């Protein structure tokens, strides 16, 4: 009798454990479905608005449309959207989309959970000067401190801070660098060093090299592939008693040798 009762007690305990296990499983399943519903199905965390700040050259409306297309481009079973969810969106997800526009140098992303919005803060390239091509169309572009052409500009008139004229016949696409060899930082250094003492008109790019044209009429010839040594040589000349006033040209293409011609 006691053995039967003992077995019955064990059976009852086992049944209660199974019921608790089933109940716990159902609670966990319900909680998981509830979380899944809130995150993916309810739309509570879905992006309702895309905002673009810091746009000057970039077309904010076009970028907003492209971001919205990206957010709605991946659906599972036709209605579950894993992309349009504030929790899982990060700046890296939009890098390829944003940086295909060469105007944009960098950007940050802010997720506003209260207003269900994504805020893109753009950091555009800053214009260092203007590049104009010596072709029939006279196309001109703004370029930044890295020598990257990033947006079309109107033709320049009068004095500008930094004007580059490319007469080599090269065709540019937005995002291209002006110098195919050499350092653009070195070219800026050379330009600034001369500009501290002389009025400069432009840098001209030819098929054979670079020419800095001064307002006084004399020119400085540069080798694009040797701008680092050119920078040092020019610094030495500017510190010396070299007579720049009577120059016709200064040729720094064949360092260590320096050639010049004085006006007759």
Residue 120, pLDDT score = 95
245 and 172 together in one domain: yes
Mean residue pLDDT across the chain: 83
d(C-alpha 235, C-alpha 194), whole Å: 9
Within-domain flag for 31:
no
Within-domain flag for 34:
no
Residue 81, pLDDT score = 59
**Percent of the residues in the chain that have a pLDDT greater than 90, as a whole number:** 48
197 and 251 together in one domain: yes
**pLDDT at residue 124 tops 60:** yes
- Tokens 């805020």 belong to 119
138 and 257 together in one domain: yes
Quick check: 73 and 83 in contact, CB under 8 A?
yes
CATH number at residue 82: 3.10.20
- Pair of tokens at residue 198: 């002389």
Half-sphere exposure of 84 (CA within 13 A, CB side): 23
Residue of 3 and 122 predicted with greater confidence: 122
Which whole number is the average pLDDT over 62-69? 92
Looking at 95, 124, 153, the residue that finishes a domain is 124
d(C-alpha 76, C-alpha 87), whole Å: 18
140 and 244 together in one domain: yes
Number of domains forming the structure of the chain: 2
Cα dihedral 72, 73, 75, 78 in deg (nearest 10) = 90
184 and 222 together in one domain: yes
Looking at 103, 124, 145, the residue that finishes a domain is 124
Quick check: 210 and 221 in contact, CB under 8 A?
yes
d(C-alpha 130, C-alpha 222), whole Å: 19
- Pair of tokens at residue 53: 């700040």
What burial letters (b/e) apply to 150-169, b meaning 16+ CB within 10 Å? bbebeeeeeeeebbbbbeee
161 and 103 together in one domain: no
Within-domain flag for 137:
yes
133 and 258 together in one domain: yes
Report residue 165's pLDDT band, with 50, 70 and 90 as the boundaries: very high
User: Is the dihedral angle over the CA atoms 180, 182, 185, 188 positive or is it negative?
Assistant: negative
d(C-alpha 150, C-alpha 57), whole Å: 9
**Quick one: which H or E segment has residue 129?**
strand 129-133
d(C-alpha 260, C-alpha 199), whole Å: 19
150 and 225 together in one domain: yes
Residue 33, pLDDT score = 58
C-alpha gyration radius of the chain = 33
Within-domain flag for 13:
no
150 and 247 together in one domain: yes
Within-domain flag for 4:
no
111 and 136 together in one domain: no
Report residue 39's pLDDT band, with 50, 70 and 90 as the boundaries: low
Residues 89-108 have pLDDT tens digits of: 889 989 999 999 999 999 99
Within-domain flag for 29:
no
Residues 172-191 have pLDDT tens digits of: 999 999 998 878 999 999 99
**pLDDT at residue 221 tops 90:** yes
Tell me the residue range of the domain where 214 lies.
129-262
CATH number at residue 194: 3.40.50
110 and 208 together in one domain: no
Looking at 83, 107, 124, the residue that finishes a domain is 124
Report residue 212's pLDDT band, with 50, 70 and 90 as the boundaries: very high
109 and 167 together in one domain: no
Rounded to the nearest 10 degrees, what angle do helices 227-239 and 184-195 cross at? 20
């Amino acid at each position: 009798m006691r053995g039967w009762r003992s077995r019955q007690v064990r059976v009852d305990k086992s049944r209660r454990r199974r019921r608790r296990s089933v109940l716990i499983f159902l609670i966990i399943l319900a909680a998981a479905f509830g979380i899944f519903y809130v995150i993916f199905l309810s739309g509570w965390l879905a992006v309702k608005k895309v905002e673009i700040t810091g746009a000057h050259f970039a077309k904010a409306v076009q970028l907003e449309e492209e971001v919205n297309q990206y957010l709605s481009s991946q659906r599972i079973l036709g209605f579950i959207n894993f992309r349009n969810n504030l929790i899982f969106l990060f700046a890296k997800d939009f890098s390829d989309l944003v940086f295909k526009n060469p105007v944009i140098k960098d950007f940050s992303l802010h997720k506003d959970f209260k207003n269900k919005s994504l805020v893109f803060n753009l950091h555009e390239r800053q214009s260092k000067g203007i590049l104009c091509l010596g072709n029939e169309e006279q196309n001109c572009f703004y370029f930044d401190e890295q020598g990257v052409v990033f947006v079309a500009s109107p033709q320049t008139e009068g004095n500008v801070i930094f004007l580059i004229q490319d007469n080599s016949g090269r065709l540019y696409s937005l995002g291209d660098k002006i110098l195919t060899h050499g350092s653009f930082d070195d070219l800026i250094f050379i330009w600034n060093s001369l500009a501290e003492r002389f009025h400069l008109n432009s840098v001209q790019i030819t098929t054979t090299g670079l020419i800095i044209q001064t307002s006084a009429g004399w020119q400085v010839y540069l080798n694009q592939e040797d701008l680092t040594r050119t920078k040092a040589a020019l610094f030495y000349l500017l510190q010396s008693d070299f007579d720049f006033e009577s120059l016709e040209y200064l040729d720094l293409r064949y360092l260590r040798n320096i050639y010049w011609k004085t006006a007759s």
